[in-house]
Amino acid sequence: MRQRAARDQQRLDSGAVTSPKDLESLQREIASLAKRQGDLEDVVLEVMERRESAQERVTELSDRVSAVQAKADDATARRDAATKELDEEAASVTREREVVAGSVPADLLKLYDKLRVQQGGVGAARLYQRRCEGCRLELNITEINEVKAAAPDTVLRCENCRRILVRTAESGL
């Protein structure tokens, strides 16, 4: 379009076109081409502006993706650290349990393991201030008297939940 406008302008300037009608027509065409070029430049400008704003949006979204990714990485790292800690704790508790279990008579250990499975993972409970800490029920006076009369090595059971009762100085006897 520019070339055509330049060519028209050249013809006009050369003086080769002499007919007033042709001159007028040529001038009209030059004006029309100039207007069209202006319109196209406006379109190009608008497209460039839209491209720029789209580019800004891309940058903004990329930043947000990076931020979310960083948060996810952080959460993953914390989860992995917590898992490692729990695994180590579990291994340590398992070792401790093996040591303790080794000192418990076999038949008592068998009873304990059976009760543990039946009672949601807790096979023995502390007798604390006359209350079974397994089922939280207070022992009645008859039961307390039986506990009091029992020899120290007797395996006592809670009448209510059947767990092994462990006597301590705080049993309230």
Q: Which residues bind Zn ion (CB under 5 A)?
A: 132, 134-135, 158, 160-161
The CB-of-161 to Zn ion minimum distance in angstroms stands at: 3
Cβ closer to Zn ion: 11 or 162? 162
C-beta closer to Zn ion: residue 30 or 124: 124
The closest alpha carbon to 7, from 30, 31, 36, belongs to 30
Q: Please report how close the Cβ of residue 158 comes to Zn ion at its closest, in angstroms.
A: 3
Cβ atoms < 10 Å from Cβ of 132: 23
For Zn ion, which is the closer residue by CB, 30 or 125? Answer: 125
Give, in order, the Cα–Cα distances in Å from 147 to each of 134, 137, 162: 16, 15, 14
Supply the minimum distance, in Å, between the C-beta of residue 146 and Zn ion: 14
The letter for the amino acid at 23 is: L
| 14: DSSP letter | H
